[in-house]
């Protein structure tokens, strides 16, 4: 069941940088272009959310408009509502993502509405995106725990995932938003969701807050899932745990997959270079152990 190829969905320029001190638009553009040169094919480069909620993403339109696009690379953006979608289409996003949650409290605090209301808001986004021929990805947050509610029922994760999939999302990304999962429950969760959404339409989006992300991915790979979200240099902190690490570092993921003989098409050294450069712009050292080892 373990795949021999994994598609990496790089979220550093969005999930990472939304949780870091601001960098310049030029730094973001340089990062996205460097990721493309390293062989990353799917890059989340923007987020069209309220700039009052997430000021770090306010220049998303300028980022998308000014990158030198590379053939075969998809540049995507988060779009919580129709306003976000229109801005993303205008800026030339190749695909967009709607983002819901398996926790009511998280949904309320993150996008200011209940799970049910979020589904209602996503419907016109989906309709308009389909009309514009733009694929829509769906995120489900808090799949292994919520910062406000603690444990989340796996059945609720499966229910929300199925709704987003049936609405037309081409892929459902399962977010361990606060990185609390461990291998056995991560695998159980993926197995349960794959009863409702085909496993080849699922992606893992595991934050590394508790240092479990690689172990969780390894456990879940055996279910056949073959799309993994990660963030170069481990960019991104955790707004719910001050000082904690962010997303799983893409370099660490690629290193593990290389060792397993699983293809990613990514050049580890160029990837680490991209991560080191953006870390320098942020005035900190890379959050990737592998990048530290091979660049030291």
**Site residues, ligand HMG (CB under 6 A):** 15, 18, 47-50, 53-54, 78, 80-81, 83-84, 99, 110-112, 139, 141, 175, 177, 205
Q: Is 176 in the site for Mg ion (CB under 5 A)?
A: no
Q: Is 252 in the site for Mg ion (CB under 5 A)?
A: no
- According to DSSP H, which parts of the chain are helical? 25-37, 60-66, 82-91, 104-111, 115-131, 154-167, 183-193, 213-221, 250-259, 268-281, 289-295
181 binds, among ligand HMG, Mg ion, none (CB under 5 to 8 A by kind): none
Query: Least Å distance between CB 19 and ligand HMG?
Result: 8
91 binds, among Mg ion, ligand HMG, none (CB under 5 to 8 A by kind): none
Query: Least Å distance between CB 101 and ligand HMG?
Result: 7
- Of the candidates 67, 95, 126, the one whose C-alpha atom is nearest the C-alpha of residue 9 is 95
Query: Least Å distance between CB 111 and ligand HMG?
Result: 4
Alpha-carbon torsion, ordered 79, 81, 82, 85, to 10 deg: 0
Residue of minimal Cβ distance to ligand HMG: 175
Active site residue 238: yes
Cβ closest to ligand HMG, residue 31 vs residue 49: 49
Q: How far from 113 is each of 57, 124, 159, CA to CA, in Å?
A: 21, 16, 18
Q: How far from 251 is each of 59, 211, 228, CA to CA, in Å?
A: 26, 15, 13
Residues annotated as catalytic (active site), given as ranges:
238
**Interface with Mg ion (CB under 5 A):** 15
């Amino acid at each position: 069941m373990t795949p021999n190829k994994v598609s990496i969905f790089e979220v550093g320029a969005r999930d990472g940088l939304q949780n870091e001190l601001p960098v310049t638009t030029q730094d973001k553009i340089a990062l996205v272009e460097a990721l493309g040169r390293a062989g990353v094919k799917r890059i989340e480069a923007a987020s069209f959310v309220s700039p009052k909620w997430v000021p770090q993403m306010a220049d998303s339109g300028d980022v998308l408009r000014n990158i030198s696009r590379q053939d075969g690379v998809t540049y995507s953006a988060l779009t919580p509502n129709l306003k976000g979608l229109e801005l993303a289409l205008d800026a030339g996003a190749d695909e967009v993502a709607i983002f819901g949650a398996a926790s009511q409290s998280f949904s309320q605090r993150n996008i200011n509405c209940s799970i049910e209301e979020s589904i209602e808001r996503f419907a016109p986004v989906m309709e308009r995106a389909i009309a514009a021929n733009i694929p829509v990805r769906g995120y489900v947050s808090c799949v292994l725990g919520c910062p406000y509610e603690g444990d989340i029922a796996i059945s609720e994760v499966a229910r929300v995932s199925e709704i987003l999939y049936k609405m037309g999302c081409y892929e459902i990304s399962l977010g361990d938003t606060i990185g609390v999962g461990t291998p056995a429950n991560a695998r159980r969760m993926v197995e349960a969701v794959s009863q409702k959404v085909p496993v080849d339409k699922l992606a893992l989006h595991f934050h590394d807050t508790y240092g479990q992300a690689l172990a969780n991915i390894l456990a879940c790979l055996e279910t056949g899932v073959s799309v993994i979200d990660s963030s170069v240099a481990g960019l991104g902190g955790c707004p719910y745990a001050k000082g904690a690490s962010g997303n799983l570092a893409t370099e660490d993921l690629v290193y593990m997959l290389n060792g397993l003989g699983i293809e990613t098409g990514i050049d580890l050294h160029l990837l680490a270079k991209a991560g080191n450069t953006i870390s320098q712009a942020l005035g900190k050292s890379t959050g990737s152990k592998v990048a530290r080892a091979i660049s030291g």
